[in-house]
Amino acid sequence: MEPRRPPRTVSDPKVRQVGFVTPAAAPPARTVSDTAAMPAAGASQELPLSGSSLSPVMIPPPRHDGLSARVTALLPVPIAATALRLDNLQIRVGSYNQSEVLLGTPPMTSPSSRIEDAVSEFSDDVSASSLYGRTEPDKVGTAFPGRSGDLMPAKSVVAGGSIGSHTPENPPTASLVVKALPGITEKKRGMLEKQHDEAAAPKPLKEKTTKAERRALQEAQRAAKSAAKEGGGADPTNTKKDKVVKPTPQKKDVPEVAASSGKKVDRPLEKERKKEVLPLRMQFDDKHKVEKVKQRAIVNQREAKSRVEFFQRLPQYVHGTQLQELEAKFFQLDAVHPSVYKVGLHHLSGKITGGNARCIAMLLAFKEAIKDYSTPPEKALVRDLNAKISGFVSFLIECRPLSISMGNAIKFLKNRIAKLPLSMSELDAKASIQSDIDRFINQKIIIADKVIVRHAFAKIRDGDVLLTYGLSSVVEMILVYAHEHKKKFRIVIVDSRPKHEGQILLRRLVAKGLNCTYTHINAISYIMHEVTRVFLGAASVLSNGTVYSRVGTACVAMVAKAYRVPVLICCEAYKFHERVQLDSICFNELGDPDAILKVPTHVESYLYGCMDNDNLQLLNLNYDATPSDYVSMIITDYGMVSCNQLLIYCSVF
């Protein structure tokens, strides 16, 4: 066992400090004998910053206490909490940058600055490139406070939505909000109105409001871009400097802005949401609604009869019948383009899996469909095409619930179509949408992946032992890239039943000559001893920093945290979602329950004969939610961020 351990140099503080570590908390050397003594040492070192975090590799000085963090995460309504949070944010930003400046991070700046140009050229939003400026020391301090003002509207928007209209999107959260804080919401309303009046007066603030409003509405991106350019070019430099000098007035200002914009946006937003956001999730335990949907459904699917109580609102069909039914209806489905149909079948049969691959396949199919599309007489392209895409989407949903990446891509596409000028000829319009799709794939996925690979590469040292879980395309690219660039490291691939996706990764990596160890998730605590970094993929990163990913990821991250191994989540920014989710129960996807029964060595299931028993319910979840506490850093195409900074990104995309 001993010889398998990595050389101690790996966990030498000097090496491990890079980029992650607040200078105050130098990580102690990690040996087995040390672990007992370490918590005390670590805690005492970190105490000035935090009481709760044990990890020496946490970037953000963790929140003052768990409760307030929860509350802000849950609902950013109470002003006290938001102020607190802002305070937090600022402190963190400062310390984060400080550490970065101190350490200099030479390996990181070189690739990122190289890529920076490329990204800013491709990115739609200026704010993104300004975020990039983070690597330059003098801009750093100013960039984030300025932004934090922007991010508030988005937060309060979310809150307003959940208070005003009881959106079925996230029922547990919404009900919690209403129950827990009726007084505060009332108070907030009052304050909102008051502050709205106040905020209307000053000029620069008003300008800000409109900008925030637009952003919150997710409308007129292009207009926002130019506006942001103007704002980002000349104006903010002054205001930002003010803010840096006097942090106290800023604290007052920001809630005002947030509140006023939140109030203003409240009404139109609800309408907008209904229109724009993809059909909100069905509750499958509502019999009445299910009947309705069934009437509309393309294929009448038999629903699985015994479902775990917690998950009854999620769709679950008898596995295996779906594909047959859908195939049999091949020629009946008039509205669905062949290429979309093919993608749907691939999703259903599991031939295409993974957020990126599914998204790309879907977009290419849409592109194909748009190419073959012609506007029927007396209809407007914009409306008809959007309706058509909606039809495709509902077909795809019937095949398999959409991934968040796909949802975002669809939102993008519909937005683009909706914004086509009416005067545009059909040919031009189609060409422009097709090139939009191409650009989306190229920028948001392919180039984003490349950028992430470069960023992550900077985090790999010679002698590292990297752990990954399941199969993530980005992580695979990172590993291959690092191998090609002569890094000497070892890989631990952790896998789980029933999909055994890790074996695919293992096969590919071994074929490329990488040094791999393969194990199952039950051995995670054993293998974590020797690991120095954990790289994980994600299906989505939510705005409270929760990482929504393949089931088992949370477990890996938790164990890694317990062993003080940094957890790096690799996720393209287009997969970010502004939703807030606290657990994996309120939204998930159910897999084939029979899959977990099959044991390869046994032809017959162990539960043979018990299947009809009413007391037996099988649960095969596809995703889980990793709380942000377990995540050291998220590597996106806009650089490496900590979970708490995510809100900014979420509001941007």
Partner 1 sequence: MTRMDFEVVVLAGGASSNLSPLVSQELPKALLPVANRPVLSYVLELLEGSNLKDLIVVVEGEDAAQLVGGWISGAYADRLHVEVAAVPEGVGTAGALRSISSYLTANDVLIVSGDLVTDVPPGAIAATHRRHGAVVTTLLCSSPVSGPSDSGTSGGKEKAKKPVRHNIIGLDPTRQYLLHMATGAEVEKDIRLQKRILQAVGQMEIRADLMDAHLYAFKRTVLQDILDQKDKFQSIRQDILPYLIRTQLSSEVSGNGLVSSESGSNKSAVQDELRWLSQHREIAPSTFQDSQPLSLKSQRDDQRSHKCCVYIANESKYCARLNSIQAFSDINRDVIGEASHLSGYSFSAQNNIIHPSAELGSKTTVGPQCMLAEGSKLGDKCSVKRSVIGRHCRIGSNVKIVNSVVMNHVTIDDGCSIQGSVICSNVQLQERVVLKDCQVGAGYIVTSGSEHKSESLARK
User: Side-chain half-sphere of 495: how many Cα atoms within 13 Å?
Assistant: 18
Q: Which stretch binds partner 1 (CB under 8 A): 34-42, 210-218, 366-374, 562-570?
A: 366-374
Q: Which stretch binds partner 1 (CB under 8 A): 164-172, 284-292, 364-372, 569-577?
A: 364-372
Residue 263: count of CB within 10 angstroms of its CB: 21
- Which residues, in sequence order, are bridge partners of residue 569? 536, 634
Give the separation between CA 12 and CA 26, rounded to whole angstroms.
10
74 part of the interface to partner 1, by CB under 8 A:
no
351 part of the interface to partner 1, by CB under 8 A:
yes
> 125, 150, 253, 449: which one contacts partner 1 (CB under 8 A)?
449
> 5, 117, 338, 525: which one contacts partner 1 (CB under 8 A)?
338
- Give the nearest distance from C-beta 302 to partner 1 in angstroms: 15
Closer to partner 1 by Cβ: residue 306 or 473: 473
- Which residues, in sequence order, are bridge partners of residue 390? none
Give the separation between CA 420 and CA 390, rounded to whole angstroms.
17
Angle at which helices 203-217 and 247-276 cross, to 10°: 30
547 part of the interface to partner 1, by CB under 8 A:
no
- Give the nearest distance from C-beta 471 to partner 1 in angstroms: 6
> 505, 516, 580, 641: which one contacts partner 1 (CB under 8 A)?
505
Q: Nearest Cα to 518, choosing from 505, 534, 537?
A: 505
Q: Which stretch binds partner 1 (CB under 8 A): 116-124, 259-267, 504-512, 627-635?
A: 504-512
Q: Which stretch binds partner 1 (CB under 8 A): 88-96, 300-308, 368-376, 638-646?
A: 368-376
- Give the nearest distance from C-beta 431 to partner 1 in angstroms: 13
Residues 296-335 contacting partner 1, CB under 8 A: 324, 326-332, 334
User: Side-chain half-sphere of 218: how many Cα atoms within 13 Å?
Assistant: 25
3-state secondary structure of 645: helix
Closer to partner 1 by Cβ: residue 348 or 558: 348
Q: How far is CA 22 from CA 321, 457, 627, 632, in A?
A: 54, 21, 21, 12
Closer to partner 1 by Cβ: residue 196 or 319: 319
Q: Which stretch binds partner 1 (CB under 8 A): 116-124, 220-228, 282-290, 351-359?
A: 351-359
283 part of the interface to partner 1, by CB under 8 A:
no
Q: Which stretch binds partner 1 (CB under 8 A): 22-30, 91-99, 243-251, 467-475?
A: 467-475
Closer to partner 1 by Cβ: residue 212 or 460: 460
Q: How far is CA 443 from CA 370, 448, 455, 638, in A?
A: 20, 6, 16, 12
> 116, 266, 476, 624: which one contacts partner 1 (CB under 8 A)?
476
> 451, 471, 521, 590: which one contacts partner 1 (CB under 8 A)?
471
Q: What share of the chain is helix, strand, coil (3-state, %, to 5)?
A: 60, 10, 30
Closer to partner 1 by Cβ: residue 252 or 485: 485
Using H for helix, E for strand and C for coil, what is the string for 104-151? CCHHHHHHHHHHHHHHHHHCCCHHHHHHHHHHCHHHHHHHHHHHHHHH
473 part of the interface to partner 1, by CB under 8 A:
yes
617 part of the interface to partner 1, by CB under 8 A:
no
Q: What is the DSSP string of 478-534?
A: HHHHHHHTT--EEEEEEE-TTT-HHHHHHHHHHHTT--EEEEEGGGHHHHGGG-SEE
> 4, 271, 292, 371: which one contacts partner 1 (CB under 8 A)?
371
Give the separation between CA 44 and CA 25, rounded to whole angstroms.
9
Q: How far is CA 220 from CA 48, 156, 227, 412, 416, in A?
A: 45, 20, 10, 12, 10
DSSP-derived secondary structure letter, 62: P
Q: Is the peptide bond before 498 cis (omega within 30 degrees of 0)?
A: yes
- Give the nearest distance from C-beta 652 to partner 1 in angstroms: 25
Count residues binding partner 1 (CB under 8 A): 42
Closer to partner 1 by Cβ: residue 370 or 646: 370
Give the separation between CA 117 and CA 264, rounded to whole angstroms.
36
φ, ψ of residue 412 to 5 degrees: the values are: -60, -50
426 part of the interface to partner 1, by CB under 8 A:
no
504 part of the interface to partner 1, by CB under 8 A:
yes
Closer to partner 1 by Cβ: residue 114 or 507: 507
- Which residues, in sequence order, are bridge partners of residue 490? 465
Closer to partner 1 by Cβ: residue 357 or 562: 357
> 150, 256, 266, 368: which one contacts partner 1 (CB under 8 A)?
368
445 part of the interface to partner 1, by CB under 8 A:
yes
Q: Give the contact letters, 372-401, x = binds to partner 1 (CB under 8 A), - = no.
A: x-----------------------------
Give the separation between CA 187 and CA 182, rounded to whole angstroms.
9
- Give the nearest distance from C-beta 359 to partner 1 in angstroms: 10
> 129, 301, 349, 519: which one contacts partner 1 (CB under 8 A)?
349
Q: Nearest Cα to 624, choosing from 561, 515, 514, 542?
A: 542
70 part of the interface to partner 1, by CB under 8 A:
no
Residue with tokens 């508030």: 152
Closer to partner 1 by Cβ: residue 317 or 481: 481
Q: Give the contact letters, 557-596, x = binds to partner 1 (CB under 8 A), - = no.
A: ----------------------------------------
Residue 596: count of CB within 10 angstroms of its CB: 16
- Give the nearest distance from C-beta 477 to partner 1 in angstroms: 6
499 part of the interface to partner 1, by CB under 8 A:
no
346 part of the interface to partner 1, by CB under 8 A:
yes
Q: Nearest Cα to 25, choosing from 54, 2, 3?
A: 54
Residue ranges binding partner 1 (CB under 8 A)? 324, 326-332, 334, 338-339, 341-342, 345-346, 349-354, 356-357, 360, 364, 368, 371-372, 438, 441, 445-446, 449-450, 471, 473-474, 476-477, 504-505, 508
